C-alpha cells in the first residue's frame, strides 16, 4: 500500500514539473513579456513599415490586450485591421473593423474605420488579378461593391469634414457607375447570345435604377437593338428617340462604337 501510494504521486510531481517548465518556456519565448505597450506598438509599426504585416499582427493583438480600455488599444485594433488587409486577409480585416465600429461608436477614429472598411471591400471586389485579366469591377459580383458604397456613404454623411470624405465620394461615384455598368454587362451578355427578352429586362433595370451615369447610353443602345431583333419596331424607334435626345453625339448612333466597348469613365 505504501509503495503504491508513493508511485501514484510520481506522475503528479512530474506533471507539475513539466507544467512549470512549459510555463517558464512560454515566458522565455514571449519577448514582449517585459515590454511596455508603447514599445510593443513601436515594434508593430516598424514591422508594418517594412511590409511584414503578418509579423505585426500578433504584436498588435498583444498590445490590444495589454492596453485594454485606452486609446492605444483602439489604435492597435485599427492597425491590426489594416495589417490583415495588407496581408490579403480581407475577411479578418472586415471582422476587426466591424468589432471596432460596434465597440467604439463615439471614437474620433470612426471615420477612418468606415473609410478602411470601404477600401477593403472596394479592393476585394477589384480582385488581385484585375490588371492581368483586364476584367473591370463591372464584370464581377457586386456584393462587395455595394457594401463598400454603404461604408463610404455613411462616412460622407456622418463626417463630411473628414480628411477621407473627398476620396470616399470619388469612389462612390465610381461604384455607382460600376453597378450600372454591371447591369449593362449582363444585358450585353444576353444580347450577344440572342436572349433578347432577358437583355431588355437588364437594360431596363439599369435605366430605372440609376440616373446620370455613363452606362445608360449603352443600355439604351442594347435596348434599341433588342427591340429591333424581336421585330418590335415602335419600341425600337421610341428608344432611338430617347437615345438621340439624351446623347445626340452618341457613337452608338453613328456606328463608331459598339456594345461592350471599354467605358471611358473607368478610373481604377
Structure confidence by residue, pLDDT tens digits, 158-212: 999 999 999 999 999 999 998 898 899 999 999 999 999 999 999 999 999 999 8
**Residue 11 counted as domain residue:** no
Cα separation, 44 vs 84, whole angstroms:
13
Question: Are residues 207 and 88 part of one domain?
Answer: no
Collapse the DSSP code of 53 into the 3-class scheme (helix H, G, I; strand E, B; otherwise coil) and give the result.
helix
Q: Return all residues near 203 (Cβ < 8 A) that are at least 6 apart.
A: 183, 184, 187, 219, 220, 222, 223, 226
Place of cell 519577448: 31
Q: What is the pLDDT of residues 76-113, one digit of tens each?
A: 999 999 999 999 999 999 999 999 999 999 999 999 99
Model confidence band, residue 254 (pLDDT cutoffs 50, 70, 90): confident
Question: Which range has the worst mean pLDDT, 66-70, 119-123, 235-239, 263-267?
Answer: 263-267
* Percent of the residues in the chain that have a pLDDT greater than 70, as a whole number: 78
Average pLDDT over the chain reads 83
Model confidence band, residue 140 (pLDDT cutoffs 50, 70, 90): low
Question: Which range has the worst mean pLDDT, 118-127, 212-221, 243-252?
Answer: 118-127
Question: Are residues 187 and 202 part of one domain?
Answer: yes
Cα separation, 264 vs 214, whole angstroms:
9
Question: Are residues 248 and 185 part of one domain?
Answer: yes
Cα separation, 160 vs 169, whole angstroms:
10
Domain region containing 104: 34-108
Residue 178, pLDDT score: 87
Domain termination residue (choose one: 108, 126, 155): 108
The candidate with the shortest Cα–Cα distance to 79, out of 93, 95, 65, is 93
Question: Are residues 121 and 225 part of one domain?
Answer: yes
Question: Are residues 97 and 42 part of one domain?
Answer: yes
Model confidence band, residue 265 (pLDDT cutoffs 50, 70, 90): very low
Question: Are residues 162 and 231 part of one domain?
Answer: yes
Residue 187, pLDDT score: 95
Which has the higher per-residue pLDDT, 12 or 67?
67
Per the structure, how many domains does the chain have? 2
Question: Are residues 163 and 99 part of one domain?
Answer: no
Residue 143, pLDDT score: 85
Residue 102, pLDDT score: 96
CATH classification of the domain holding 259: 1.25.40.10
Domain termination residue (choose one: 73, 88, 108): 108
Residue 169, pLDDT score: 96
Model confidence band, residue 131 (pLDDT cutoffs 50, 70, 90): very low
Question: Quick check: 63 pLDDT over 70?
Answer: yes
The candidate with the shortest Cα–Cα distance to 120, out of 64, 156, 81, 74, is 81
Question: Are residues 82 and 208 part of one domain?
Answer: no
**Residue 18 counted as domain residue:** no
Question: Are residues 59 and 144 part of one domain?
Answer: no
Domain termination residue (choose one: 108, 140, 162): 108
Question: Are residues 218 and 121 part of one domain?
Answer: yes
Amino acid at each position: 500500500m505504501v509503495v503504491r501510494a508513493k508511485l501514484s504521486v510520481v506522475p503528479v510531481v512530474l506533471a507539475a514539473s513539466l507544467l512549470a517548465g512549459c510555463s517558464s518556456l512560454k515566458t522565455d519565448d514571449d519577448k514582449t513579456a517585459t515590454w511596455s505597450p508603447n514599445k510593443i506598438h513601436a515594434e508593430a509599426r516598424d514591422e508594418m513599415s517594412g511590409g511584414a504585416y503578418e509579423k505585426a499582427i500578433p504584436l498588435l493583438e498583444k498590445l490590444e490586450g495589454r492596453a485594454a480600455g485606452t486609446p492605444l488599444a483602439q489604435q492597435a485594433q485599427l492597425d491590426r485591421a489594416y495589417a490583415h488587409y495588407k496581408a490579403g486577409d480581407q475577411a479578418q480585416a472586415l471582422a476587426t473593423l466591424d468589432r471596432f465600429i460596434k465597440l467604439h461608436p463615439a471614437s474620433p477614429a470612426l471615420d477612418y474605420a468606415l473609410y478602411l472598411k470601404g477600401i477593403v471591400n472596394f479592393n476585394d471586389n477589384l480582385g488581385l488579378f484585375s490588371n492581368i485579366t483586364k476584367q473591370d469591377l463591372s464584370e464581377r459580383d457586386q456584393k462587395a461593391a455595394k457594401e463598400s458604397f454603404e461604408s463610404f456613404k455613411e462616412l460622407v454623411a456622418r463626417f463630411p469634414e473628414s480628411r477621407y470624405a473627398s476620396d470616399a465620394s470619388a469612389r462612390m461615384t465610381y461604384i455607382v457607375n460600376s453597378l450600372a455598368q454591371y447591369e449593362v454587362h449582363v444585358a450585353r451578355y444576353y444580347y450577344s447570345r440572342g436572349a433578347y427578352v432577358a437583355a431588355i429586362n437588364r437594360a431596363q433595370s439599369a435605366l430605372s435604377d440609376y440616373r446620370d451615369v455613363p452606362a445608360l447610353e449603352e443600355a439604351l443602345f442594347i435596348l434599341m437593338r433588342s427591340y429591333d431583333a424581336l421585330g418590335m419596331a415602335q419600341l425600337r424607334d421610341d428608344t432611338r428617340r430617347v437615345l438621340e435626345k439624351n446623347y445626340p453625339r452618341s457613337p452608338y448612333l453613328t456606328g463608331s462604337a459598339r456594345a461592350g466597348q471599354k467605358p471611358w469613365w473607368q478610373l481604377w
